[in-house]
Amino acid sequence: MQAYGALVYSAFGSVNGFAETMVKACPLLLAGLGVTVAFRARFWNIGAEGQIYAGGIMAAVVGIYITGLPAVVHLPLTVLAGAVGGALWGLVPGYLKARLKVNEVITTLMLNYVIILLAGYLIHGPMRDRASGITISPQLLQTAWLPTVIPRTRFHAGILLALALAVVVYWLLERTVLGFQIRTVGENERAARVAGVRVGRTIILTMIVSGALAGLAGAAEVAGLQHRLVDEFSPGYGFLAVAVALLGNLHPIGVVFASVLFAALLNGADAMQRAASVPVPVIFVIEGLVIVLVSARFFRQRSG
Amino acid sequence: MLDEILTVTFLTGFLAATLRIMTPILIAALGEMFAERAGVLNLGIEGIMIIGSFAGFAGAYFTGSLLLGFVTGALAGALLGLAMGVLSIRLKANQIVAGLGIWILCQGLASFLNRGIFGVVSVRPSVSILPAISLPLLNQVPLLGETLFNQNIVVYLTLLAVPVFTFIFRRTSWGLSIDAVGEEPHAADAAGISVSRVRYIAVTFGGLMAGLGGAYLSLALFGLYTDDLSTGLGWMAIVVVVFGKWRPWWIVGGALIFGAANALQYRLQALDFPLPYQFLLMIPFIVTLVIVVIFGRGQKGPSALAAPYERSEL
């Protein structure tokens, strides 16, 4: 009980606690929205983690090395670079699936390993801050920082962007032609084909959107929080995003609540560890259990 | 550099390392072949291998017996295979999502149990690894014999299992039943085969093999447990099954390629190859991608793969 008390208090008990919860919710929400879009088309994108890294790397490159721009140009450019990075890393498995029928679970997963290693190489090699004793990149120029919204906390503008995008994704899925096509492909690919939906093109677009959202999560971490490229700046947010998306029932508004819940759990896990020495991996156990249970509850398959 | 690579010592060492590293992939892939041929796609293999390597290590550490370690690892794997069976057969869960959940759950569970049982320590507890057995006569083969035929017992047993499994699928009614429920579950049901029973057995056996493959990592390769012992080997096993067209000997070929990719990476690191180590670590993953793109294209597996069975109402 003591442990749960510490969890709830640390997550919502103060302005700073609330801000810290939202700081953690931000990447989970953005990546969770990305996973949602892909899963709605029944494209099993397990690559959100890699797409986060691709976005973070691109945002860091633009934020560090493009100089002399005013913030009104530099900041949007940095954030956009993150989206483009994620979109490119999502486009590869999307293209392979749409055009060559290559299994996306395997490609998205392998691309995770590749880009995480690439990020490690960049931080230890060409992008390393030689002035620093540890292996991190130099700081992004201040013109590329996402501004702090609540003073004296780490609550940054990326969180507001994420919340706004939840509404945009809802609109995209429910009110646009692309959203209709995504849902149709997900519900019944054969029927979609018969109805004249270009399935391959839809899958590719789905993965561009999905990857861009995860890439934004990486950009928000880099430009809003770390202000550098650091080793393992995403400690598995992309995988947690799968649990978030499923728990949110693949509905953008549900995903908002699920991401805040998991963020509270993540922050709480630290507090729990201090108060009752519950180790951090418990969060993965909970995450896995959620996915397993949800798989049985919501994802019954059509019989063969 | 190149002359250092093209030496006999490097090549024999590389071949021996290939055999050692391909074995856990091969064990897991052969098990997954059983599950998939029965119609169950178990994507939790990577997680089950992680649990297998932990349970195997803990078993061996506390009983002092490597054999009991392997038994513990296999049993833990079988239990998780059974769990996947309940999810996919009884609850008719989406097998892709369920497998993912099992993977993440196992990762957390192994790490949690490891901290809980062994604590966070600077010197990791270890066991002495499975000894190599030199095969008489064969180890006399010039150049290759001494390294190639000087492997641990599990390597030999796994290679022996391949013709046995081929025989099971070609010549026995068990093999026939597995293929029947994976290809034509309705016909199998009509012929009096219990579809869910065969699937339970196949997916549980698949879990057992993955657990065994995991135990091999901690007990035959490293002699200790860390959370990142099996970086992606389970996922490679799944690719190997597709590459191997669900057939035992082809799967050996696939495992050989992945074993070689991993061994090459280790060997080049040991040689201080002039490429950042991150790029060397990428080799197996890039090989996986290339293979799945070339050979995984529109490969059709068992026709009832990943589809839960429901009796149609007549």
- The model's pLDDT over A94-140, given as tens digits with 9 standing for 90+, comes to 999 999 989 898 899 899 999 999 999 999 989 998 888 888 899 99
Interatomic CA distance for residues B277 and B274, integer angstroms? 9
pLDDT at B258 over 80: yes
ipTM of the complex: 0.87
Strands B150-152 and B132-134: antiparallel
Are residues A114 and B282, on separate chains, in Cβ contact within 8 Å?
A: yes
Max mean pLDDT range (A141-145, B134-138, B140-144): A141-145
Which residue out of B230, B278, B295, B303 would a mutagenesis test of the A interface target, given it has the greatest number of A Cβ atoms within 10 Å? B278
Interatomic CA distance for residues B97 and B114, integer angstroms? 26
Total number of domains in chain B:
1
- pLDDT band at residue A5 using 50, 70 and 90 as cut-offs: low
Secondary structure of chain A: what % helix, strand, coil (to 5)? 75, 0, 25
Between the CA of residue B60 and those of B81, B113, B126, what are the distances in Å? 22, 15, 10
Of B92, B238, B288, which has the smallest distance from its Cβ to A300's Cβ?
B92
Are residues A291 and B231, on separate chains, in Cβ contact within 8 Å?
A: no
Q: For residues B269 and B162, which has the higher predicted lDDT (pLDDT)?
A: B162
- The model's pLDDT over A49-92, given as tens digits with 9 standing for 90+, comes to 999 999 999 999 999 999 989 999 999 999 999 999 999 999 99
Chain B contact set for A103 (CB, 8 A): 242, 292, 296
CATH code at position B217: 1.10.3470
Give yes or no for B115 touching A (CB within 8 A).
yes
Distance from CA of B139 to the nearest CA of A (A): 38
Q: What is the pLDDT of residue A304?
A: 34
Give a three-class secondary structure readout of B260-308: HHHHHHHHHHHCCCCCCHHHHHHHHHHHHHHHHHHHCCCCCCCCCCCCC
Chain A contact set for B96 (CB, 8 A): 44, 105
Distance from CA of A74 to the nearest CA of B (A): 31
CB atoms within 10 A of CB A69: 16
Q: Where are the beta strands (DSSP E) in B27-136?
A: 132-134
Length of chain A as a residue count: 304
The answer to whether the CB of A114 falls within 8 A of the CB of A242 is: no
Interatomic CA distance for residues B85 and B213, integer angstroms? 19
Stretch A4-11: mean pLDDT: 63
- The model's pLDDT over A234-269, given as tens digits with 9 standing for 90+, comes to 988 998 899 899 889 999 999 999 999 989 888 877
Q: What is the pLDDT of residue A36?
A: 97
For the segment(s) A2-298, the CATH number from 1.20.1440, 1.10.3470, 1.10.260, 1.20.120 is 1.10.3470
Q: What is the pLDDT of residue B274?
A: 81
Task: Please name the residues between 230 and 259 in chain A that touch chain B, using a CB distance below 8 Å.
Answer: 239, 242-243, 246
| Residue B150, beta-bridge partner list | B134
- Which residue, A94, A120, A72, A125, is CA-closest to A210? A94
pLDDT at B144 over 60: yes
Mean pLDDT of all residues belonging to chain A: 89
Q: Which residue has the tokens 């899958």?
A: A203
Are residues B296 and A106, on separate chains, in Cβ contact within 8 Å?
A: yes
Residue B73: domain span = 2-118+149-295
The answer to whether the CB of A259 falls within 8 A of the CB of A248 is: yes
Stretch B16-33: mean pLDDT: 94
Give yes or no for B107 touching A (CB within 8 A).
yes
Residue of A nearest to B300 (CA): A101
- The model's pLDDT over A159-203, given as tens digits with 9 standing for 90+, comes to 999 999 999 999 999 999 999 999 999 988 888 999 889 999 999
- pLDDT band at residue A274 using 50, 70 and 90 as cut-offs: low
Domain ranges in chain A are: 2-298
| Residue B152, beta-bridge partner list | B132
Q: What are phi and psi of A276, to 5 degrees?
A: -135, 15
Chain A contact set for B283 (CB, 8 A): none
Say how far residue A294 (Cα) sits from the centre of its chain: 20
Q: What are phi and psi of A281, to 5 degrees?
A: -55, -15
- Which residue, B182, B95, B305, is CA-closest to A301? B95
Mean pLDDT of all residues belonging to chain B: 90
What single-letter amino acid sits at A9? Y
